[in-house]
Each structure stands twice: as C-alpha cells, then as structure tokens.
Structure 1
Amino acid sequence: MNTAHTFQERRRLLTGLLAGALLPASGAWAQTAGRALAFPYYSGEQALQGLYGQHLPPLARAFEREARALTAAARQHCAAPGSSGALKDAWRRTLLAWAALSSPSLGPVIERRSQRQIDFWPTRPALLEKALKSAPQTLVDMERIGTPAKGFPAMERLLAGKPSPAHCPYLVLIAEGIEAEARALRAGFEEPATRDWTADEEGARSAFAEWINQWLGGLERLRWIHIEQPVQRARTAGKGHQPEFARLAAADNAAEWRTQWQALRAQARLRPEQIAMPPQPGQGPIPIEGLLMGKGQIALAQRWGTALDAADGAFQRLPAKPSDAALMALSKTLKGVTTLYQNEVAAALDVPLGFSDADGD
C-alpha cells in the first residue's frame, strides 16, 4: 500500500468534511516526526474554554499581584525618599504583566477600556503639570484627571531623571489607580472562566469572533502603532527627529515589544509538547495553530507556524538598541504574519475580519 498516498487522500477527505463553522467533527491527521498524529476537531466553545478558563485568569492574577507590589513600592519610596530604583523596577514588572494580559485585548480589558485608562500614550506634559498642581488626594479626585496624565506613561515620566519628592503623593495615586484597574480586571475574568460556553451558542460565536479579530488587532498594535508608526513619523518630520516610542528607555520598549509578541504567540502557536501530544479540550489552551490542524488545514497550519517562527527569529536578532532600519525589518516580518492571517487563517476559521471600538485603544 502507498502510505503517502493514503495519508494525502485521508487529509483531503477530512479537510472537506471539517471545512465549515464551529460544529463538532472527528479530527484530522498530521505528519509529525515521521508518524501520523491525530488532532481532534476543536469547537469554538472548546477554544473559549481554554482561553478564558485556563489561559487568561493566571495572567490577570499576575497583573494584580504586580500592581499591588507597585503600590507598595510607591509608598515605600515616598516614606523614605532616595533612590527610585526599586520603584522603577516595580513599574517595569507591572508594565510587562499588563502587556502579557492585554496582548491582545479581550473580554474585560475591552469592556472596561483598560488600555485607555492606565496606558494612554503619549503623555501630555502640560496636562500632567496641571494635574500635579491640582494636588488630587484620592482616587475619586483622580477620576477628574485626564487619562493622558495617569497610568504607566505618566508614572514613567515622573520617575525619569531624579524624581521630585513633591511628586510623591501623585505617584502613589497613579499606582493605586493601576492597582484598582488590575483588581477589577482579575474579578472581571472570573465570570468567563466558569462560563458554560455551550449554553449560549450565539454568545460563544460572538466571543470566538472577537478573539480572532482582536488577535489581529493586538498584532497590528504591536507592529504598526508601537514599532513602525513612530519610525515613520520621525522620518516624515525630517533629519534629527527621533522616534517617539511608548516608553522613554530603549530597553523598556524592547522588553515590552517582546512580551507583547510572546503573549500573542502563546495564543497562536502550538508548543512542542502540544505537537507531540495534541491539547485535549478542557485541559488547557488551544492555540490557533491547533484549531487549523483540527480542521484539517494541515498545509496552512505549517505555513502559519513557519511565519510565527520567522517573527520569533526577528525578535531574537533585534539588538538592544535597534536602528530604525532594524525596526522596519522587524515590522516587515510581522507584516508577513498579518498578511497570512488576513488572507487565509481567519477564513479557514470561518471568521470575518472587521474592526471593533477597542482597536484604537
């Protein structure tokens, strides 16, 4: 018997049977390490169970934990003014925990417009000065402060150079505001973590489509808004202008970009152990690559993995202080992922791509 021919026939048959919407089906086969490996078909409800039940809640708890530590560090810094190193380190850890949770923005992050509340950039220096002069005393007072004068960017600006002791009360309020948002997000992710997605077919379909769309939105936010757009604007402004990235320090930008990419990749690429043993519904997250495998889209899944690996390599090659040319090369590689996703991956998952009111937050 021609084994290769049999495998190809089986794959074509399964592809035809499984092409379609989120309905139960049997599974698909892939050639891995020289052997046939069965991938079960994953429904949208099962994908949501892994995403909201097992993947996102630990990230929300980690963000809350780091945000509590940030508030404690701000209070400690203000109780004994001196070096701001410990507070800056706490800011970095909290920022990266936030980046891991919000890439892409999903569920409560969208509903609460958290991106706008705690990570609106660029900071408006004039608005920040006005906020400092108003001397808010409580978080209720902070509600009257514009978002460009709060959150991670505002705290970073106040910590730049040698922080003024006069800014201490405001630094603590910024930290408390971030902690309050982190606490609300952790609570917000508790409900979908226990939801029975099979009980509401329309709700599940909407949530699945939101995930697929927001994943692309998260990638484009990283590629275009965080990396390429600042470079393009500096070039348009003329010689001598430097790109204005989200963070003041090059190392902080690079660390955040890598964290955002790793968070997106975790939802998109099968881990080596998942390739060796396909993820089982209810036992963990099911990445987009796994969904493609389960639908019989073997060749597309392989090209998808290759595109993601190329992006991994581009991030690994990025120097500590990348030139504009290096950043544009990285953006070009990420654009390849975007193009494949727009042209083939989303269609294979039967999800139309569009825009939500959260895309620009």
Structure 2
Amino acid sequence: MHTMTRILCASALALCSSLALAGTADRQARQQWHQAIGEGYQALAVASGQLQSAADDYCTTANDSNRTTLNKAWQRAFLAWQQVRFVDFGPVEQNNLSWQFQFWPDPKNLIAKKANALMGMEQPVTTEQVAQSGVAVQGFPMLEYLLYDTRHLNSDHALPASGACNLLQAVSQHLRSNSETLAANWRSFESRYLDTDAYRDATIRAGMGALEILEERRLAQPMGLRGNGKRNAYITDAWRSGQSMKAVEATVTGLKQRFLPGLTTLLTAEEHAALAGRIQKQFDEVLENFPVADLPMTTAIQQDDQFRVIQSLYVDVSQLATMVNNEAAVALGVVRGFNSSDGD
C-alpha cells in the first residue's frame, strides 16, 4: 500500500513538473514574440516617418533626386510592414488597422477609383478626409498607385501635380500616425499578452495563416496553380511597383525573425527539437531563392526561365507551410482557425 502511494505521489509530482515546464516555455515564447513583434512595429514606425518626410520634401522640391528618395522610402516602409503583416490579433485589429496599412486584394480596382475622385476635388485633400475615406485610400497601395501606376503617371493628375501631392502627403501622414499608434499600443499590450494563455495559440495561428495566404493567394493563384489555371500577375499585391516578390521575401524574413524563435522554444520544450530544426532549415531554403526571385511578378509569369525560379520558390514555401501548419501545429495541439485578415 505504501509502495503504491509512493508511485502515485511520484507520478503526480512528475505531472506537475511537466506542466510547470510547459507553462514556463509558453510564457518564454510569448516574451520572445512580444519583443520581436514590438521591434518590427517600431521599425515600421521609423520607416513610415521617413516616408512622410520624403513625401513632404518631394512636394516642396519636385526634382529627380527627391523622387528617387521618395520611391525608396516607400519601398522600405512597405517592406517593413510585410515583416509584421502576419500578426492578425491585438492592437492591429483595432479600427481595421491591418486593412488601413494594406488594402488587398482589390479586384474592383477601388484604389484607382478613389484616387482619381480625391484628386479631382476642388479643395486640397486633408488627413481628416483620408481618415474618413475608407481603407482603400489609407495605406501603402494608395501611395504605390501615385508613385508607380503607368496610366496615372501619364495623366494630368500625375505627381507633382498639386492634387496628387496633397493626397500623397495626407496618406503618408495617416500611415505615420497609424504606425506610431500601433507601436505604442503593442507596448501597452505587453501585460495582457504575457498573462493570457490564449495568445500562445493565437500567435501560432497567425504564423500559420500567413504561410497559407503566402502559398495559396500570393503565389499559387497568380501563377495559375489555382482557380481558372491562368497566370495573372495583376492579382498579386504590389504589382504596380514590381515589389510582389520582394514583399514575399520580406514576409518570410519577418516570420523567420519574429515568429520562428518562439515556435522553436515551444517545440523544444515539447521534445520536438528535431522538427524545430527542420523548420529552421526550411526557412533558410525558402530565403535561398532570393535575390534571384526578386523580380516583378509580371516578368516572372511571362518568361519560362523566370517562371521556373518562382516555381522552385513555391515548392519550398509549400513544404514550409506543411511543416508549420500540419506537423508543428499537431505537435503543439493547435487547431487551425478562421483567418480574420482574409489576405490582409
């Protein structure tokens, strides 16, 4: 009887110890995620501030040098957003912030319609009007339209026309304000995030959702591997600027830097270190496709030799998505949920 009691006590102690270790790993992972995501949001805020300054400089002095600086500032800020785009919970959910940063997909070309309507107004566009005009106006795609859209650039409204400059500056200011707000709100979110166990699974599902969208909607569909089977570069994000593939690279880099470390902590604590190592290796293999794959999607899907490059990338992304969404999720007991961002 005493022997059985000792066995039961030992089993109970082992179970409690195991639960305690799991709880410690969960909190450690959330600490890693909170810090890494916060650093990403801060980088976005800095880049958005630089973008606003570049917009103001260009509209004050519209020369080639300032235009080059403006284009590069847009690219840096846009790619900074791609690195944290996977986060679909917490402060970024407030006021549809993720959609305000990037309205996509846009099958009805609302961005062009909204831009032309605003630039056609008699009074200058203000930040207040941008804030009230809906998500199609408020983010990176609207600025991309002003900077890169071929038809727009050949119109009377093209930059540095006053209407276009007013819209450029108002949207840039809106982006900067939202970026700074998001970074500050994420810092304030720390206690709730660390003390709420449900954010473990929410963060994992965010990474899973980002990989699923990357595989299916940002690669497979424009490549003609889904739907009607026709290649179509114009359903990708950032097709006007030719930054679609660089955006893919930034998203994968962001997941590797800001999502993978916490996932690795959890997998290792659950005795799945080998799986964590394979996922790490697969992230590296995806990123090895670049910079060769950093080309406009319109070029990639029209030329067979370039198409093979993105085919290789697609295969690597699909394998990564399978490892994370199937193997890691099962190992950690995470059920795939509804993705509220629907492609961000």
Tell me if TM exceeds 0.5.
Answer: yes
CA drift at 1:235 = 9.0
Residue 318 of structure 2 aligns to a residue in which SS? helix
Aligned to 2:119: 132
- On the 8 A contact 1:138/1:173 being kept in 2, the answer is yes
Q: Are residues 1:115 and 2:102 paired?
A: no
Residue 354 of structure 1 aligns to a residue in which SS? coil
Aligned to 1:310: 285
Q: 1:111 to 1:206 in 2, by over 3 A?
A: farther
Q: 1:205 to 1:242 in 2, by over 3 A?
A: closer
Rounded to whole Å, the distance in 1 between the matches of 2:204 and 2:169 is 37
Q: Which segment is superposed worse, 172-181 or 299-308?
A: 299-308
- On the 8 A contact 1:214/1:359 being kept in 2, the answer is no
Deviation by residue 1:229-257 (Cα, 9 ceiling, x = unmatched): 22228994858x65442113575223222
CA drift at 1:342 = 2.6
Match of 2:33 among 51, 54, 57: 51
Aligned length: 307
- On the 8 A contact 1:292/1:349 being kept in 2, the answer is yes
Rounded to whole Å, the distance in 2 between the matches of 1:307 and 1:292 is 15
Q: Are residues 1:81 and 2:62 paired?
A: yes
- On the 8 A contact 2:144/2:241 being kept in 1, the answer is no
Q: TM-score normalized by structure 2?
A: 0.78
Rounded to whole Å, the distance in 1 between the matches of 2:202 and 2:72 is 34
Q: How does 1:94-113 map to 2 (within 5 A)?
A: 94-113=77-96
CA drift at 1:112 = 3.9
CA drift at 1:180 = 1.3
Q: 1:69 to 1:250 in 2, by over 3 A?
A: closer
CA drift at 1:194 = 4.6
Residue 148 of structure 1 aligns to a residue in which SS? coil
More helix by share: 2
Q: 1:357 to 1:158 in 2, by over 3 A?
A: same
Match of 1:208 among 189, 200, 222: 200
Aligned to 1:278: none
Aligned to 1:276: none
- On the 8 A contact 1:127/1:146 being kept in 2, the answer is no
Q: Are residues 1:296 and 2:271 paired?
A: yes
- On the 8 A contact 1:213/1:354 being kept in 2, the answer is yes
Structure 1 residue ranges without an equivalent (≥5) = 1-16, 27-40, 199-203, 270-285
Aligned to 1:255: 246
Identity of aligned pairs, percent? 22
Rounded to whole Å, the distance in 2 between the matches of 1:319 and 1:78 is 30
Q: 1:268 to 1:137 in 2, by over 3 A?
A: closer
Structure 2 residue ranges without an equivalent (≥5) = 1-13, 301-305
